[in-house]
Each structure stands twice: as structure tokens, then as C-alpha cells.
Structure 1
Amino acid sequence: MSEARVPVLMYHSVAAEPNDATRTLSVTPEAFAEQLAAIAERGLTPLTTADLAARWRTGRPLPGRPVLITFDDGYEGVHRHALPALAGHGFPATLFVSTGWLRGAHDTGGGLDTMLDWRQVRELADVGVEIGGHSHSHPQLDRLDDARLCAELTRCRDIVADELGALPLSFAYPYGYSSRRVRTAVREHGFAQALAVGNSLARRAQGPFALRRVTVRRTTDTAEFERLLDGRAIARTFARDRALTKGYAMVRRTRQLPRLV
């Protein structure tokens, strides 16, 4: 039997009028509603990140056509626009929050647009949205020294636990960047699984701390979205992204060396 390949959809902002900082990685409320309708019409079964990872970890079977709906950062439109659409279909999702970006007691002022507050995050959690960690201040974690890396993970984990009454189980790397050192630290801070980007389908063989996602953005039309769900032509769809990512990764490694020796 071939290994299951699962589309893990990565969203950011859901907004009619996003600002320039979030525009590219935003989707309109109408597009998001249409994409959820496509998931329902194609008979896919949404899972949370924790559910997918637990099934792979224990060998429990997956539903016939699983899919994950995930959001990064914590933009207010997830509550305003995405939540009603998710509730209309009865779909679960996972929200990865950068705790220092959310409005309220822990706000460091770094949010790129209007962010959720903790009341809204609790309302999302109460209706079955899994709340995961996404660091505290959204840095490139693999460029931090050990002390700053530990501080980012500890603050994120502890703030989510204090605000929601339960430790977060899942994590998403800011910008998708990680390393063996970062993945080890995420595991040692109590997270059971973590998502990268990669723009390919998730497979059990990737390991629980390097599961890949596909990016949904403002330019993703209906045909492209359906290809993402079916796992068709993903390499071609994201070919330019991969080339840019590979080039930037080389630059980052060069800049990183003096910081970590």
C-alpha cells in the first residue's frame, strides 16, 4: 500500500482589505468560503494537526481523504471571517499563534496587521480549533543562539498554557525555517509535532517535526486550489518559490555561521 500523502493547507490572513505587509499571503473571505466548499464537495475530511500526527504515531487509520486547514500568526480575520465558514461545514482547523503579536497583556507590538485578542483565541479553541505555538516574537529560529531560542519557545508555550488552560501540542516554524537544533528544542519544550512549509504534501516519513505544508495565497484560484487538494502539479506550481527559497537559504547559511559558532 502506498504511503498516504496529506495536503496541509497553510493560510495566514483572511481579509477583504489586507495591508501591504500581509496582502500576498492573505485570501478574501469569499475565496476562503469557496475553498471550504471545494473541500466538502470533494469529500475530504479535515483533521487537526494533533489528530493527524497522533494517528501516524499510533498507527490509527486515517480517513479516506484527509486534509489539514492551518493558519499562522493569529490575524483577526481568522475569527471574523474564517470561523463562521469553518463552523458552517463543521470543519476543525489549527491556529498557530505568535503570542507576542496577539492583542492583550503579552503584546510586543510586532503584529503585521490587526491581530486576534485572547478572548477571540479562547472562542476559537472552544469550538474545536486547535491552538498551536508559533514562537513569541516570530523570529527566524535557526538564527537564534540557544538561550534566545529557549526563551522564544518557553514564552510561547507558557503563555498559551496560561491563557487557555492546556499546553499546546503542535508548533509551526516561523517562515518555515528550522534545523536539527531547532527541531530538537521544539521537542524538548513539550511539543509533539511541528509543521514546516516545503510546498509539498505531508507524509509520515517526513517525521513528526518536519511535516510539510502547501501555501494558499491571494493569487490561488479555484483550479490551483483543486490541484493542491488532489496533489497534482504541486512541484510545478511552486517551482519559482522553491528556487527562491533555495537561493535565500544559501544566503542565510552564510550569514548564520558567525552567529552560531
Structure 2
Amino acid sequence: MTDVPVPILMYHAVAADPSGATRALSVSPEAFAEQMAVVADRGLTPVTTAELAACWRSGRALPERPVLVTFDDGYEGVHRHALPVLAGHGFRATLFVSTGWLRGPYDTGGGPDTMLDWDQVRELAGAGVEIGGHSHSHPQLDQLDDRPLRSELTLCREIVSDQLGSAPASFAYPYGYSSRRVRRAVRETGYAQALAVGNGLARRAQGPYALRRVTVRRSTDTAAFERLVTGRAVARAFARDRALTKGYAVVRRARRVRAAAGRPPD
């Protein structure tokens, strides 16, 4: 069926000793290995973001029991710790890179922990990991004016294209924040699909530029992870997160309106 709800897992750092800035949204290498073992034991089929969107766009059937494994930002542990586990299971995944955070010629120095370099990104791509865009400097895109918004999207896409030889097809919104204006800009920049957060299962009806993900944290134990990948009690598990997100969305919209009117933020 093409309308089956799909769990899209959102990871960040995979590290034994993450920085304070990334700790809450990191997982240990041991936890990641256990979680991928759950995926394998449950008979789930990891697919990339582009593969999911292509099936939903064309009406083709998805593999049985699909799941997405996605990583945001571009932390070095994705190469060091996650890649061997993924390769051992033959799993596909998607990595969304903030190009100004990666080590190399475009590094702006903003990365909050040890980041990948471009050789490692190429190795990940060569191993079947889809490389998507995650902006250049990881701002809250919905708070940017049109020109810097387009610059963030375009620069990220151009750098990935230059480094890998092909343009990224998928995008993930930094912090999960978007708006109708941001989603339109992402589409017009050339990305074919984009992921938000939302902490819910992804569905075709959400549209290709607002697909939801579920957050995997350091506090996510094996039992909680199993509930996520099987779609059980997801709404209950993230009820508080969604309430906070909705409240903060109202605040961000108000800030954007005030900024557009030339008034200082609260």
C-alpha cells in the first residue's frame, strides 16, 4: 500500500563522549548498534528519503515494513560508528549535512562537536548513504528574510554538488522549523522532498515537503525505540514535545511579524 505510515528516525551525533551541546540528541555507539539490531530483528526495511518520496510520488509500492534512518548536521561519529553498523546489516540511510559545519574549505567554525570532513562524506555516499542538504550555517530558516534564506539553500546545494558530483535531492529543515514560504523556497531551489520533525509517523498526505520524523535521543532505551519503529504509542510518547513545538511556533511567527514590521523582538 502506498499510504502506509512510515517511521522516519531522526539521529544526530553517534558518540561515546559527545559535547554538552549535542549530548541530549546523541546516542552511544552501543545504543545505535542495539537499535539497528531491533530494526533487523523486526524485519523492517530501511530506505532512503529519496526512495520513500519516489514511491509516494509515483504510487509504487514501498518495500514491506519500511523505515528511514536519518542523521542531521554531519557529526564524525556517523562515519566512525554508524556506518559499520549500517553496512553490517546492509541498511540504507540518509545524512543531511550543514555544509558550513563540515571540516574543509567551507568550514565556518560553527559545528558544535567533531564534524565529518568531505572525504568521509564521500565514503558514506559510496557506501549507499543518501546525502541531503541541511542548509549552510544551520539557522532557523523561518526567521530569515528571502535573500539569506535562498542563499542558505542554494549554497548548501551547490557545495554538496561540487563535492559529490551530484545535487542533493532531499532536504531537512534545521531544528525542524519551516513555513509555507520556506517550503516553497526549498522546492524552488531544486530539492524534491524535505523532512521536518513533528514527532509523528510520516504519511503520504503530509506532502513531500513536510514529512514528519521521530526523534531518537540518548534517553531512548531499547523498549522505547521498539515502540517508535513499530509505530506504537508514538503520539503519547511525544505529546509534550508537540505541545512545546506548537507553542514555540506561535512565538516564532510573532517574532517574524515584528521583524518584518521593523520592530525589535520581545
Q: What TM-score do you get using the length of structure 1 for normalisation?
A: 0.98
Aligned to 1:26: 26
Distance 1:93 1:3 in 2: 21
Distance 1:179 1:254 in 2: 13
Q: Once the two structures are superposed, what CA deviation does each residue of 1:178-204 show, in whole Å capped at 9, x if it has no partner?
A: 011100100011100000000000000
Deviation at 1:243, TM superposition (A): 1.7
Matches within 5 A, 1:36-185: 36-185=36-185
Aligned to 1:201: 201
Equivalent AA in structure 2 for residue 18 of structure 1: P
Deviation at 1:2, TM superposition (A): 8.7
Equivalent AA in structure 2 for residue 116 of structure 1: L
Distance 1:31 1:88 in 2: 15
Q: Once the two structures are superposed, what CA deviation does each residue of 1:21-56 show, in whole Å capped at 9, x if it has no partner?
A: 000000000000000000000000000000000011
Q: Is the Cα contact below 8 Å between 1:101 and 1:111 reproduced in 2?
A: yes
Matched residue of 1:13: which SS?
coil
Equivalent AA in structure 1 for residue 32 of structure 2: F
Distance 1:34 1:258 in 2: 47
Distance 1:39 1:259 in 2: 45
Deviation at 1:205, TM superposition (A): 0.3
Equivalent AA in structure 2 for residue 240 of structure 1: R
Equivalent AA in structure 2 for residue 83 of structure 1: L
Judge which range, 173-182 or 246-255, deviates more.
246-255
Q: Give the gaps of 5 or more residues in structure 2.
A: 262-266
Deviation at 1:95, TM superposition (A): 0.1
Distance 1:224 1:47 in 2: 21
Q: Once the two structures are superposed, what CA deviation does each residue of 1:110-155 show, in whole Å capped at 9, x if it has no partner?
A: 0000000000000000010000000000000011000000100010
Distance 2:33 2:43 in 1: 16
Matched residue of 1:27: which SS?
coil
Distance 2:242 2:154 in 1: 31
**Is 1:15 the equivalent of 2:7?**
no
Aligned to 2:188: 188
Distance 1:17 1:180 in 2: 38
Distance 1:206 1:197 in 2: 12
Matched residue of 1:201: which SS?
coil
Q: 4+ runs of 1 displaced by more than 6 Å? A: none
Deviation at 1:3, TM superposition (A): 2.9
Q: Once the two structures are superposed, what CA deviation does each residue of 1:55-87 show, in whole Å capped at 9, x if it has no partner?
A: 111111111100000000000000000000000
Distance 1:168 1:3 in 2: 25
Distance 1:153 1:259 in 2: 21
Distance 1:153 1:36 in 2: 31
The two structures, once aligned, show a CA RMSD in angstroms of: 1.0
Judge which range, 62-71 or 240-249, deviates more.
240-249
Q: Is the Cα contact below 8 Å between 1:5 and 1:201 reproduced in 2?
A: yes
Q: Is the Cα contact below 8 Å between 1:195 and 1:213 reproduced in 2?
A: yes
Aligned to 1:229: 229
Q: Is the Cα contact below 8 Å between 1:101 and 1:107 reproduced in 2?
A: yes
